[in-house]
Structure 1
Amino acid sequence: MNEYIIGIDIGSSKICAAAGKADRYGRIQIMGITSANCSGVKKGIVVDIDSTSEAIKKCIDSLERMVDTKIKEAYVCIPGGMCELIWNKGVVAVGSEDREIRENDVKRVLKASKIITIPSDKEIVGVIPQQYIIDGYDKIKEPIGMSGLRLEVDAQIILAPSTVVNNLLKSISKAGVKLLGMVFQPLAIAEVALKEEETQRGVAVVDVGEQSIDIYIYEGGNLASIDTISLGGNAITNDISLCLKLPFSEAEKLKIKYGSVGEELSGCDSPIEVNVDYNDKVNVDYFMLKQIIEARVEELLYLIDQKMKCSSFYEKVSGIVLVGGGLALIKGIEELSKSILKKPVRIGAPEYIGAASPLYTAAVGVVKDAIDSIKDKSVMIDTRKENENNDREWTLKQDQKESGNNSGIISKIKEFFTDFF
């Protein structure tokens, strides 16, 4: 696996792209990551294909310079806020004569789970298998290689508006990038920001973007619910701009550089000099700026708290993980969030050198999901080869018994691993 895997996250204000690969030990390395401003997406929905494609192209060009290779293919994440989850079941008979479940059986049962009635304006963009059931035995995560007569799956079907998906695909195609696959955003975030123990115990991921807040609740290892609030980090910037009479772009810079909440010491006692016009500068009082930011951040946190309490899974949430660039980058946000949400709060970010920012969580998650999928397919192919080798080895040993030539199984295993590595 020497080629780079590219993951793209198309957000409301920025497009993030990451390039990664797996080393010889199977560990994932992020080799390049970048972002570009985008004005063609509103609340996760493409409203201007030309503007969005230009931003994608700019982002990919920057990533190409980082990894020194031409990028023609990529994976993209589908925003979770616009999607809907539907539970359904699929059932098939195991096709092989020896009753061993193979990859084709899993594909057939997942296809069977997609047989549902959906609205004309929506389409199926993915399937999340929750558990497999073999001859009545449930809670099976990986059925390939097991034996049985009847294979079932409990799955979540992901529905998305057809228009939204088509416009997203057109933007990517117009940027000159071939789409290899789509990754559901909540799953991409979970790949790099959550621990398996958290998803089993119950955790809420709060993805605060520029124009919307998506709340994903995990319970029992599965994605249990999705909620959206039509307000995001731009509300903070807008308040700074209006209250201090500053251009929106300068207000955004102030928020990113000086944004803090709570009792955290700033170390900024002197007024902040800000460019208002070409040659016009004004001084901004830091404590006034902090009061403006705190007021809006508290409102957003209370909205998140109300939305979470409306969920039937709220009592099962043992912690909250903040991702995205809307709130997670503000200093002191963890302590303030704990005091308002009344639950443990932490910032979720990828644990990779150069990509350890909540802003890049989804893009890095797409890369990891794609690499893991490719690795799983490779393992299945290699396992199949190993089984074939074992069959040939058994025949060879039976033939050699009469001649007294006993080569032994250890040498065969050594040969296999020598070829593999």
Structure 2
Amino acid sequence: MLTFGIDRGGEMITQYISKCFGLPRDTAEQLKIQYGCATPDALTEEERSLVITVRQNDVESSTEVQVGMVTLATYINRQFSEIFRMVSDRIGRLLNEGRNSSLQLTLSAGFVITGGVAKTRGIEKLAPFINGNGNPAAVKISVGLPRGVLVDPADHVRIDSPEHAVLVGMARTCSRDTKELQNFEKEDTNPTNWRGKFSQWWNDNFA
């Protein structure tokens, strides 16, 4: 399994909406969350004809911006294409590094996306054209959710969104790394293995 993050993925989409419609960043973010769709193909027939009126008020005047659902979904889709291009570039670099090593990479199982951007409606209908050989091929997208997390019902807390999956994954990675470090430190103090013997020799002669 290959895991890595893309910085500011959701923010890229927000900034693009802001730029294209001439809206403040916070308004664009609200528009993305409330009406955003990853592809026009995921819109219903009714939504395709829907136009959202966004009112902007300042000290001297009030203006209205008309935002069509199809146009909004098209802009969001463009940024997803850019995000997947970044993913493709990252995979390409790994493949180039792997040509001189034992690294084998296949994406037949597709992508699992987590974080806030994974909550975008219709994201599972996208198919980034990337595969493990760097050749065009449709790859399945799935939304990652946290699994195996036990929560006390008395806490009234739900850990079940793609955003939570990122935090759970980071916590598990940190826990695993901590255990590995603790095991390594135990081996260092064990006088029967080579690391323990070296550590003892170093302390006797240089500490």
Q: Does 1:330 align with 2:107?
A: no
Q: How many angstroms does 1:254 deviate by?
A: 1.2
Q: CA RMSD in A?
A: 3.0
Aligned mates of 1:234, 1:271 — CA distance in 2 = 23
Q: Which residue is 2:143 aligned to?
A: 347
Q: Does 1:259 align with 2:50?
A: no
Change (3 A) 1:237 1:368: same
Contact kept, 8 Å, 2:42 with 2:125, in 1: the verdict is no
Change (3 A) 1:285 1:316: closer
Aligned mates of 2:146, 2:163 — CA distance in 1 = 9
Q: How many angstroms does 1:332 deviate by?
A: 2.2
Contact kept, 8 Å, 1:261 with 1:294, in 2: the verdict is yes
Change (3 A) 1:337 1:206: farther
Instruction: Say which SS state the counterpart of residue 274 (structure 1) adopts.
Output: strand
Instruction: Say which SS state the counterpart of residue 142 (structure 2) adopts.
Output: strand
Q: Which residue is 1:300 aligned to?
A: 83
Q: How many angstroms does 1:247 deviate by?
A: 0.5
- What does the per-residue CA deviation read over 1:90-109, in whole Å, with 9 as the maximum and x for residues that have no partner? xxxxxxxxxxxxxxxxxxxx
Q: Using structure 2 for the length normalisation, give the TM-score.
A: 0.60
Q: How many angstroms does 1:249 deviate by?
A: 0.6
Contact kept, 8 Å, 1:250 with 1:275, in 2: the verdict is no
Q: How many residues align?
A: 151
- What does the per-residue CA deviation read over 1:22-49, in whole Å, with 9 as the maximum and x for residues that have no partner? xxxxxxxxxxxxxxxxxxxxxxxxxxxx
Q: Which residue is 1:95 aligned to?
A: none
- What does the per-residue CA deviation read over 1:317-336, in whole Å, with 9 as the maximum and x for residues that have no partner? 443221122x3122222332
Aligned mates of 1:206, 1:322 — CA distance in 2 = 10
Q: How many angstroms does 1:275 deviate by?
A: 3.3
Change (3 A) 1:265 1:314: farther
Whichever structure has more helix as a proportion of its residues is 2
Aligned mates of 1:206, 1:363 — CA distance in 2 = 14
Contact kept, 8 Å, 1:237 with 1:251, in 2: the verdict is yes
Q: Which residue is 2:197 aligned to?
A: none
Change (3 A) 1:205 1:323: farther
Residue 322 of structure 1 aligns with an amino acid whose one-letter code is I
- What does the per-residue CA deviation read over 1:286-308, in whole Å, with 9 as the maximum and x for residues that have no partner? 11111111112112212211221
Q: How many angstroms does 1:276 deviate by?
A: 2.0
Structure 2 matches for 1:9-28, cutoff 5 A? none
Match among 209, 227, 242 for residue 19 of structure 2: 242
Aligned mates of 2:173, 2:85 — CA distance in 1 = 33
Residue 277 of structure 1 aligns with an amino acid whose one-letter code is N
Residue 164 of structure 2 aligns with an amino acid whose one-letter code is Y
Whichever structure has more strand as a proportion of its residues is 1
Q: Does 1:275 align with 2:55?
A: yes
Structure 1 residue ranges without an equivalent (≥5)? 1-202, 211-231, 378-421
Structure 2 residue ranges without an equivalent (≥5)? 132-137, 150-156, 183-207
Contact kept, 8 Å, 1:206 with 1:323, in 2: the verdict is no
Matched-pair identity in %: 26
Q: Which residue is 1:289 aligned to?
A: 72
Q: Which residue is 2:2 aligned to?
A: 204
Contact kept, 8 Å, 1:207 with 1:322, in 2: the verdict is no
Aligned mates of 2:104, 2:76 — CA distance in 1 = 27
Structure 2 matches for 1:13-162, cutoff 5 A? none
Instruction: Say which SS state the counterpart of residue 204 (structure 1) adopts.
Output: coil
